[in-house]
Amino acid sequence: MIRFDNVSKRYENGHEALRQLNLTIAEGEMCFLTGHSGAGKSTLLKLIMRMEKASQGQVFINGQNLSRMGSGQVPYLRRNIGVVFQNHQLLFDRSVFDNVALPLMIEGTDPSDIGRRVRAALDKVGLLKKEKLNPIMLSGGEQQRVGIARAVVNKPPILLADEPTGNLDPQLSSEIMNLFEQFNEVGVTVLIASHDLSLIARMGHRVLTLSEGQLVTDGGML
């Protein structure tokens, strides 16, 4: 599902954020990506979304070579990838419902399907009763759940998260990770960048560790 073949990423200022990375994540797998700040975690996620391009090597998503992908194809790639950010990037000028509906509106989903899809997503994150509220009224954990609902509302086969529990206390962090696990259990391939080593260790999934742009460990537990 996700394959990096000898991938390096050098930014325009000359900084090499990823170095000769080889990596395969199978369909339906759940993995954590860890490493110090600056290790290259966000860069790796950006390459998967084609927000950045590899300087060398090849990234394949679902068999598609992203180096060969024209910019016109990128929106179609992104429909297959749900993304959850640390600061969730919700819009506070509209309701929870409208935040979650946004990807469907952009895709041009049939309006008669939107209500059903949005409620299915809110139901999965336990926020069905909050659809009319403005997300500013919600707690940090709830806001992050809205971010997750928005990421999965169009049922992408791949779910990426960049420090999704960075601002949450341990109890809420573990609830959020359990939600990711539930999506993984229905077949979604999940990759989560996180610093939270104790939480990651408890979850017991594959852990990829980056250090200075190189993959230094790839294994079961920490």
Residues that bind ligand ADP (CB under 6 A): 11, 13, 15, 17, 35, 37-43, 116-117, 120, 152, 155-156, 183, 186-188
User: Least Å distance between CB 23 and ligand ADP?
Assistant: 15
When the beta carbons of 90 and 125 are compared against ligand ADP, the nearer one is 125
Burial class (CB in 10 A: 0-12, 13-18, 19+), 12: exposed
CB 140, CB 167: distance < 8 Å: yes
When the beta carbons of 134 and 195 are compared against ligand ADP, the nearer one is 195
When the beta carbons of 78 and 134 are compared against ligand ADP, the nearer one is 78
When the beta carbons of 13 and 71 are compared against ligand ADP, the nearer one is 13
User: Least Å distance between CB 44 and ligand ADP?
Assistant: 7
Cα dihedral angle (78, 147, 2, 180), rounded to 10 degrees?
-150
Question: What are the DSSP calls for 185-199, one per residue?
Answer: HTT-EEEEE---HHH
User: Least Å distance between CB 88 and ligand ADP?
Assistant: 17
Residue 199 φ/ψ, nearest 5 degrees: -65, -45
Whole-angstrom distance, CA of residue 108 vs CA of residue 132:
22
User: Least Å distance between CB 123 and ligand ADP?
Assistant: 7
User: Least Å distance between CB 10 and ligand ADP?
Assistant: 9
When the beta carbons of 17 and 207 are compared against ligand ADP, the nearer one is 17
* Sign of the torsion formed by the C-alpha atoms of 18, 84, 32 and 66: negative
Question: What are the DSSP calls for 146-180, one per residue?
Answer: HHHHHHHTT--SEEEEESTTTTS-HHHHHHHHHHH
